[in-house]
Structure 1
Amino acid sequence: MIVFLSTAVIDFFIAFGVIIGGSLLAAIGAVFVSYPPASTMLDTAMRLKIWAIVVAIGGTIDPVRVIEANVTEGHLSPAVQQILLIACAFLGAHLGTELIRWIVRGGL
C-alpha cells in the first residue's frame, strides 16, 4: 500500500511539473518571439495535458496492457491500481492547467 501511494504521489507531481514547467518555458520563448506570453502559457498548458499524463505513467502502453491482462484473468486489484495511478496523473495535469489558468487571469 505504501508503494502504491508513493507512486501515486510521484505520478501526480510529475504530471503537475510537466504542465507548469512546459508552460513557463513556453512563455519565456513567447517573449523572445514577441508573442503574448499569457495566452501562450494557457494554450501550451491545454495542449500538454494529455502528454503530461503519458509521461507520468511511464510513456508506454504497459499500463494499458496491465489493465487488459488482469481484467481478462479476473484479477481486478492490479487493474484498479493502474486506473487510480492514471487518475492521479490526470489530477496533477489538471491542477497544473488550472493553476496556469489562474495565473494568466490574474488570480482572484
Structure 2
Amino acid sequence: MGFLSTIIFNFCVALGMVLGGSMVGALGAMLTHHPPMATMFKLADQLKIWALVAAIGGSVDALKIIGDSMWDFKFDSVAKQFAYLVSAFLGCQVGYYLVKWITAGRGI
C-alpha cells in the first residue's frame, strides 16, 4: 500500500470505528431502555483512543519504527509514521464531531 493510500485508509478506519461503534452502541442503549443519544455521544468520546490505536495497526509497531528510525537518523520514516498517526487522529476527531453534530451535544 502506498503512502497516500495508507493515510486515507487510516483516516477512514478511525472514522468508521467511532461512527459505527457509537451508532451500534446507541442501538444497544435503545434496546436496553437507556438514552440512545447520550450513550452515542459518550461512546464517541470513549472510542476515539481505541479507534486511533486500531487504525495504525497497534501503536507498538509505530513506536518501534519511530524509535529505530530516530537512532539511525532516518527521518523520512519518522515523518511517515507521524503522518499516519495524524491522519488516524483526524479520522477520530471527524467521527467524534459528526456524532456530536448528530446528537446536538446531548451527552452531558
Tell me whether the two structures share a fold, i.e. TM-score over 0.5: yes
Amino acid at match of 1:11: N
Unaligned segments of structure 2, at least 5 residues: none
> How many Å apart are 1:60 and its aligned residue?
4.4
> How many Å apart are 1:13 and its aligned residue?
0.1
1:1-108 aligned within 5 A:
3-105=2-104
Q: What TM-score, normalized to structure 2?
A: 0.94
Unaligned segments of structure 1, at least 5 residues: none
> How many Å apart are 1:97 and its aligned residue?
0.3
Aligned residue pairs, count = 105
Amino acid at match of 1:3: G
> How many Å apart are 1:81 and its aligned residue?
0.4
CA RMSD after TM alignment: 1.3
